[in-house]
Structure 1
Amino acid sequence: MATISDVARAAGVSRQTVSNALNAAHRLAPDTLARVTAAIEALGYRPDPTARSLRTGSRHAVAYPVPPDNPDRPNALMGGFLHCLVDEAGTRGFRILLTRTDRASIAEVIAARQVDGFVLSDVLSADPRLAELDAAGVPYVAFGRLGGSGGWVDVDSAAAMAEVVELLVAQGHRRVGYLGAAEDLPWMRDRRAGFLAAADRLGLTVESRPLPDALRAADRPTAIVAGDDWLGLAGYRMIGEAGLVPGRDVAVTGFNDLPLCDLVSPALTSVRIPVRLIARVLVGRLLDRLAGGPTPEHGALVAGELLVRASTPVRQG
């Protein structure tokens, strides 16, 4: 296997310069960094993670407690986020260590000193994992909002829902139903609140009757806004059971833009969450903290992307 000395000779630089290229690239001139990087790739050099950890005190590893999931119906959104997280951390020289999400498993990883920090997702109110990490003094960031800390990144649900409502208003809808579930989940609360605020601002009437009953009434809602894509499909079923056709008689929108949105008929209008951008910002914020930087005062909200499909056609008449 190639050694750091081999790389130094091939690039015509010192061993320290190669070390800087690996650990502090900002210290090198662009042409020097390019020459060293080319030599590393040509020789297939890989740093010894154990030696580097002993030298720097860093494990160059970040833990990610994997949220509970149904293996028969895996969460495509969080699977995509994990892929982006591994990719983004890898470009910065860090590995991702997967662990279970319970407090005992997190305590075990901390005690073993296996990682430098944590990336969390699906953070709930009074999440016990936060107390465990705070008590141990371990840095962490979260995909999802944290009270009293700026170490988080999330999609701007309020702005995304405002776009959804603006689309429906522009298409001529005036009475709209909302389909939500598990309001104890912070992201579902955010989406509902964003929808209600936008509907009030733009003068929409929000259906207060149970949707199965409302869809059979003469003054039925002409659109349903769902808190996620699976709920959007539940809306399709409710509409069909009322003798109506989704997309033709009642428009439907979802949230998350799961792959199913392109496969159902009509294709479901939804909000895409930019998981690659979220992973990039999260890794950057965590590594800044590991380098001694302060925790940002505020979290970061990133824009979702509204993808308009056949489930929200322009109303006729």
Structure 2
Amino acid sequence: MPQLPTVTDVARLARVSRQTVSNVLNAPDIVKAETRERVHSAISELGYRPHASARRLRTRTSSTIGIRLHPVVNGISGSVLDSYLHALTERADQRGMRVSLFVAADADDEIRHFERLRDGADVDAFVLTATEYDDPRIAWLTRERIPFVAFGRPWGAEADLDPAPLWVDVDGRAGVHQATSHLIGRGLTRIGYLGWPAGTGTGDDRRQGWEAAMTEAFGLGPTALAALATATDEGVPRARVAIEQLLRAGTDLEGVVCASDALALGAMMAVREAGLPHFPVIGFDNTPVASAVGLSSVDQRLGEVATATLDLLMGPTGQRVRPHGDDSGEPRHRLITPQLVVRRSSHLAPVKEEAGSTLPGTPNREKEKS
């Protein structure tokens, strides 16, 4: 069995001392940027992985990332966070880090957990999910100078904090634009949109993708767009009722793009009960349910989101959490372009890409049984 690379191997390849390698891993601020880069290159080339237990003894850190486990209020869309947590845990383990889950009743309770875990040195950093306008968690963590990354953009005043918060997000606007453009490419013109009530950053962002695609293709103004769109709270029954009402309004819809798979599933029920079995519907999140029922959907590429989360928190090749406010010149946010997965619900519209394409920003056609 080949021997694993050691600190000595890294030092030899990088042409530095063993102590310099240790400093790069445990106290990078005291090492020149050029030397850090050389050491990281050697680590990457050799595939060196520091021993996690030894590092914790030296640095008095926990090598643990804390993240709140939100209650699953919707078994369809709730699977998105579950998939993200799996991907984050796997990638953190590859860096010698652990993920610790905790539950909280609300944002204030979550902040109390932050304080308890910080005071007990139980975690080195936090990952936030389900961000919202003027998120108090972001403001608190920034004020307390605790390292964190948000999965979801800061949508309100907290975006202007100094230093700017670290965040990674999925470009919902681009994803819905892809989905709408896909139906436009089939020759459809009366494409509706089913989303959430205005005022949520994620929901507003996704609707803007539909509006942009429809305006670019057909020059529609606000009044015409409003006639083709409707909004409801998340949930299959609510979505079903919303689409039934939109169809009865005489909008002559030819297809609909939805802000989530739960909404899309309700839309599919409504159009089939209305005697429109070939009415195209596209969802968002690419959940297991979407795959099971043949629903076209926008995939968030959560593996890339998890990788980007750790890159922001630790650096692309780092093995420890960067201090809060670290001014290393690395980007402070990442916006991931999602991927449209085409299934039978949007009628497998002709696309140029070959089956199985996974290029960002282009449709992907899944093989279907005839």
Q: Does 1:211 align with 2:226?
A: no
> CA offset at residue 182 of structure 1?
4.6
> CA offset at residue 94 of structure 1?
1.5
Q: Please name the residue that 1:263 is paired with.
A: 292
* Residue 100 of structure 2, aligned match among 89, 97, 102: 97
Q: Please name the residue that 1:307 is paired with.
A: 341
- What is the CA–CA distance in structure 2 between the aligned matches of 1:137 and 1:188, rounded to whole Å? 30
* Mapped contact 1:65–1:99 kept (Cα < 8 A): yes
Q: Does 1:172 align with 2:187?
A: yes
Q: Please name the residue that 2:269 is paired with.
A: 237
* Mapped contact 1:172–1:314 kept (Cα < 8 A): no
SS state at 1:90 partner: helix
> CA offset at residue 164 of structure 1?
1.2
SS state at 1:215 partner: helix
* Mapped contact 2:312–2:333 kept (Cα < 8 A): no
TM-score with structure 1 setting the length? 0.79
> CA offset at residue 108 of structure 1?
1.4
- What is the CA–CA distance in structure 2 between the aligned matches of 1:125 and 1:296, rounded to whole Å? 25
| Identical amino acids, percent of aligned pairs | 29
- What is the CA–CA distance in structure 2 between the aligned matches of 1:32 and 1:73, rounded to whole Å? 38
* Mapped contact 2:170–2:300 kept (Cα < 8 A): yes
- What is the CA–CA distance in structure 1 between the aligned matches of 2:70 and 2:25, rounded to whole Å? 32
Q: Does 1:130 align with 2:138?
A: yes
Q: Please name the residue that 1:27 is paired with.
A: 39
Amino acid at match of 1:27: V
Amino acid at match of 1:48: S
Q: Cα–Cα, structure 1 residues 179 and 284, in superposed 2: closer, same or farther, change >3 Å?
A: same
Query: After the TM superposition, which of the residue ranges 288-297 and 157-166 deviates more from structure 2?
Result: 288-297
SS state at 2:87 partner: helix
Q: Cα–Cα, structure 1 residues 110 and 167, in superposed 2: closer, same or farther, change >3 Å?
A: same
Structure 1 gaps, min length 5: 1-6
Query: After the TM superposition, which of the residue ranges 111-120 and 73-82 deviates more from structure 2?
Result: 73-82
The within-5 A match list for 1:4-15 is none
* Mapped contact 2:175–2:337 kept (Cα < 8 A): yes
The within-5 A match list for 1:31-42 is 34=46
* Mapped contact 1:151–1:295 kept (Cα < 8 A): no
Amino acid at match of 2:167: W
Q: Please name the residue that 2:206 is paired with.
A: 191
> CA offset at residue 55 of structure 1?
2.3
SS state at 1:177 partner: strand
SS state at 1:220 partner: coil
Aligned residues: CA RMSD: 3.6
* Residue 70 of structure 2, aligned match among 56, 67, 70: 67
SS state at 2:253 partner: coil
Q: Please name the residue that 2:237 is paired with.
A: none
* Mapped contact 1:80–1:275 kept (Cα < 8 A): yes
- What is the CA–CA distance in structure 1 between the aligned matches of 2:168 and 2:111, rounded to whole Å? 22
> CA offset at residue 100 of structure 1?
2.3
* Mapped contact 1:100–1:106 kept (Cα < 8 A): no
> CA offset at residue 138 of structure 1?
0.4
- What is the CA–CA distance in structure 2 between the aligned matches of 1:132 and 1:15, rounded to whole Å? 38
SS state at 2:121 partner: coil
SS state at 2:188 partner: coil
Amino acid at match of 1:274: R
* Residue 284 of structure 1, aligned match among 311, 327, 331: 311
> CA offset at residue 228 of structure 1?
0.5
| Residue correspondences, number | 296
* Mapped contact 1:118–1:141 kept (Cα < 8 A): yes
* Mapped contact 1:180–1:226 kept (Cα < 8 A): yes
Q: Does 1:153 align with 2:153?
A: no
Query: After the TM superposition, which of the residue ranges 166-175 and 74-83 deviates more from structure 2?
Result: 74-83
> CA offset at residue 294 of structure 1?
4.4
Q: Cα–Cα, structure 1 residues 220 and 54, in superposed 2: closer, same or farther, change >3 Å?
A: same
* Mapped contact 2:61–2:121 kept (Cα < 8 A): no
- What is the CA–CA distance in structure 2 between the aligned matches of 1:136 and 1:20, rounded to whole Å? 26
SS state at 1:301 partner: strand
Q: Cα–Cα, structure 1 residues 71 and 18, in superposed 2: closer, same or farther, change >3 Å?
A: farther
> CA offset at residue 211 of structure 1?
3.4
- What is the CA–CA distance in structure 2 between the aligned matches of 1:295 and 1:129, rounded to whole Å? 25
Q: Please name the residue that 2:56 is paired with.
A: 53
- What is the CA–CA distance in structure 1 between the aligned matches of 2:146 and 2:184, rounded to whole Å? 47
* Mapped contact 1:150–1:295 kept (Cα < 8 A): no
Q: Please name the residue that 1:83 is paired with.
A: 86
